Amino acid sequence: MQSQIANYKSPIARRLAFLLVGLAVGSAAYWWWPRGGFVLAPRAERNVLLITIDTLRGDALGSYGGRAATPNLDRLAAGGARFTFAHAQTVLTLPSHASILTGRYPYEHGIRDNNGYRLRADEPTLATRLKTLGFATGAFISAFPLDQRYGLQRGFDIYDDRVSEVGRVMRVEVPERRADETVGAAVNWIGQQRDKWFGWVHVFDPHAPYTPPAEWLTRYATDTYAGEVAWTDAALAPLLTRLAAQPRPTLVIVTADHGESLGEHGEMTHGVFAYEATLHVPLIVAEVAPGAASSRGSVIDSPARHVDLLPTVLDAVGAPAATNVAGMSLLPAISGADRADRPSYFEAMMPVLARGWAPLRGVIVNRDKLIDLPIRELYELGADPKELRNVTAAQAARVDVLAKVLATFNLDAPNRPAEESAAARERLRALGYTGGSPVMPRDRYTDADDPKRLIELDKLLHRASEAYLARKPAEAAAIYQDLIKRRPDLADAYRSLAFMLWQAGQRELAITALEMAMKNGVTQRDMQVKLGLYLAETGQSAKAIALLETLPQDDTEALNALGIAKAHAGRPSEARQLFLRAIELDATNGLAHQNIGTLHLQANDLKNAEASLRQALAIDPTLAGAYTSLGVVLAQTGRAADAIDAWKRAVGLDPTDFDGLFNLTLELVKQGRKDEAQQYGGLFLQTAPPSVYGQDIARVRQMLGR
């Protein structure tokens, strides 16, 4: 049997492919034969394990020809079905996982970006469906974009997303959990199951920054991404080993949510483009049975898509097929019974939602890939898998055919995201995702809005954030200023520049950056709120109030900011009314409770302050500021040890909470806990901006004898 690539190159096959596309897409192409002997028959008594490896390129595993040594996943692939042509529907963590877990396209399940979307409560998922079928269900998550607030937790008995417990003090927090910790939690849970179960294990390590544990860092010093991949494979070994000891066979599906560009086509990471570097994903479907030698594996060249995974699992456990899903079971493709093409829709909406660039959509049909942007691209993936030759000019007729296929999908403007809370935005930003208010989509986009023309800006944004993380703020600031000159509507450049300047204590310059954004027509709400807060905190409360009063008064974040400005202006009762209004609009608004607590604290009403602050933390245990204020209450009421714990938590949640860090150092000195005082005081001296904390720095230095 010839491979499909050889077939595809022959002129007759090409003409056939073309005709099939033109006549009836996906109905009758038949060149894909499974190579090997893996079979998977439907069977109700079977566990299901879904492993999603974040940011794993389709060509990164050893079995796919990658550089990383991945013996554990290679062994799994060698005994199962390894798909060579599997694709994601989109290129970001949350929307991709939503497609995997619902079997539906992004415009159907409604999640278009990591920022501002929630899965609807009536959307059935793999977990809700398997739960109904009597499976115990557990999810083990390694990064914030899949936090339970985004809605994928429905149907899981346990949704373990404790990603913020990684040691945080002394370094900038990255809200992720290492693969071995996540795997450990999953192995524990599997060990407790008696009946059949569905487990989902999400590991995040190949995501930037590429910093595997020392052993892998040394071994892959020149390719730290491959080091992360090899380390992830090693970390998954205990999970795969555990399956062999299960009383039932376990269906194992391994895939990635998206890949990583690593500089291809000018993109550093993922999210802007949808080239194969990020759209092509690995896919292994295997079964691990107790005591059974693994069957001979198969290599499957038939196309597979993320939306096919839910139907595949339901098929494999003998459940009735789901209605209202976009995908189809892959079992017939594995057995060789179904060799039809599966047109694959894809999109990348982050550039339009976060930056106002043109939306990217496309479709893959019979190994041809159309990327529909202002400057269209057509690639023949069979012959040109790296997408180096855009053949739109030479193949105009085929562009038309694929455009017609694309038009059968929903191409409306993306459904609008909601505003994330300020805390959630910061955590997304720590992972390198845009954490801002959404941009309004426009009716028309020109060549100048094509991400291909703008990818240099994306590269500069990455370079600036790397410079910032490497503690080179001047270098980062220069890059942001250059970006603003090139594209004065690039909200993220102003946002990051202002944040960085503020952290560095250059508060007036931070304000100037945000005012310049407004002058240039960038009017995203989160930036206006921030400007209001900056003005209030630098003694310009009248100006802050005037600005914040122009914002919609049904926005809890604007209400909180306006309340803070009024408190700074010496108008606490008006401030309190605003915080109460925010609570009225949203009873779960922890920040409003925190602000009321701080008002009580300022009025020296310690009892009510403590009650409000504890309520804030009961609602949202990630509010660093609430811990800082609570620490003050505790210290003033003679509970020094508890105060120290509260401030440690504050600093753990937000290493730039300099007030908390200062209080903590002072109290540790007072209590004679010298080593800890040196540790936290040292951090304060290293990181607090002298222009704001000059006197406090002098005081700490003196107390620590430095």
From the CB of 118, what's the least distance to Zn ion, in Å?
17
From the CB of 177, what's the least distance to Zn ion, in Å?
14
CB of 89 or CB of 541, closer to Zn ion: 89
* Gap between the Cα atoms of 608 and 101, Å rounded: 45
Tokens of 17: 């492919």
Q: Indicate which single residue of 108, 173, 205, 257 sits in contact with Zn ion (rule: CB under 5 A).
A: 257
Which amino acid does the sequence have at 411? L
CB of 379 or CB of 433, closer to Zn ion: 433
Tokens of 106: 């992004």
φ/ψ (deg, to 5) at 408: -80, -10
From the CB of 270, what's the least distance to Zn ion, in Å?
7
From the CB of 92, what's the least distance to Zn ion, in Å?
6
CB of 282 or CB of 597, closer to Zn ion: 282
Q: Are 224 and 60 in contact (CB under 8 A)?
A: no
* Paired sense of beta strands 298-300 and 81-87, if any: parallel
Size of site (CB under 5 A) for Zn ion: 3
φ/ψ (deg, to 5) at 285: -120, 120
* Gap between the Cα atoms of 147 and 161, Å rounded: 6
With CB under 5 A as the contact rule, which of the stretches 49-57, 211-219, 291-299, 665-673 interacts with Zn ion?
49-57
Q: Which residues of 219-229 are buried (b: 16+ CB within 10 A; e: fewer)?
A: ebeeebbbbbb
From the CB of 360, what's the least distance to Zn ion, in Å?
17
Tokens of 553: 């008064």
CB of 54 or CB of 657, closer to Zn ion: 54
H helices of 220-283, where?
A: 224-244, 276-279
CB of 92 or CB of 300, closer to Zn ion: 92
From the CB of 145, what's the least distance to Zn ion, in Å?
7
From the CB of 54, what's the least distance to Zn ion, in Å?
4
CB of 143 or CB of 381, closer to Zn ion: 143
Q: How many CA atoms lie within 13 A of 342 on its CB side?
A: 25
From the CB of 419, what's the least distance to Zn ion, in Å?
22
CB of 92 or CB of 334, closer to Zn ion: 92
CB of 114 or CB of 496, closer to Zn ion: 114
With CB under 5 A as the contact rule, which of the stretches 48-56, 350-358, 393-401, 491-499 interacts with Zn ion?
48-56
Instruction: Compose the 12-41 pattern: x for residues touching Zn ion by CB under 5 A, - for all others.
Output: ------------------------------
CB contact set of 420 (below 8 Å; sequence gap of 6+)? 115, 116, 428, 435
Q: Are 324 and 331 in contact (CB under 8 A)?
A: no
From the CB of 90, what's the least distance to Zn ion, in Å?
10
CB of 54 or CB of 557, closer to Zn ion: 54
CB of 256 or CB of 500, closer to Zn ion: 256
Tokens of 110: 């409604």
CB of 278 or CB of 524, closer to Zn ion: 278
Nearest residue (beta carbon) to Zn ion? 93
Q: Are 541 and 554 in contact (CB under 8 A)?
A: no
From the CB of 73, what's the least distance to Zn ion, in Å?
18
Q: Among 435, 414, 458, 440, which Cα is nearest to 115's?
A: 435
CA 135 → CA 119, 148, 462, distances in Å?
22, 20, 43
Q: Indicate which single residue of 51, 54, 261, 650 sits in contact with Zn ion (rule: CB under 5 A).
A: 54
Q: Are 351 and 451 in contact (CB under 8 A)?
A: yes
Judged by CB under 5 A, the chain residues 226 through 255 that form the site for Zn ion are none
Q: What is the 3-state secondary structure (H, E, C) of 393-423?
A: CCCHHHHHHHHHHHHCCCCCCCCCCCCCCHH
Instruction: Compose the 486-505 pattern: x for residues touching Zn ion by CB under 5 A, - for all others.
Output: --------------------
According to the binding rule CB under 5 A, does residue 147 interact with Zn ion? no
Q: Are 260 and 278 in contact (CB under 8 A)?
A: yes
CB of 54 or CB of 228, closer to Zn ion: 54
C-alpha triplet 648, 649, 654: angle, nearest 5°: 100
CB of 173 or CB of 205, closer to Zn ion: 205
Q: How many CA atoms lie within 13 A of 399 on its CB side?
A: 15
From the CB of 93, what's the least distance to Zn ion, in Å?
3
Q: Are 126 and 307 in contact (CB under 8 A)?
A: no
Q: Which residues of 643-666 are buried (b: 16+ CB within 10 A; e: fewer)?
A: bbbbbbbbbbbbbebbbbbbbbbb
From the CB of 274, what's the least distance to Zn ion, in Å?
14
From the CB of 115, what's the least distance to Zn ion, in Å?
13
φ/ψ (deg, to 5) at 698: -60, -40
Judged by CB under 5 A, the chain residues 562 through 591 that form the site for Zn ion are none
* Gap between the Cα atoms of 362 and 71, Å rounded: 34
Judged by CB under 5 A, the chain residues 63 through 102 that form the site for Zn ion are 93
Residues that bind Zn ion (CB under 5 A): 54, 93, 257
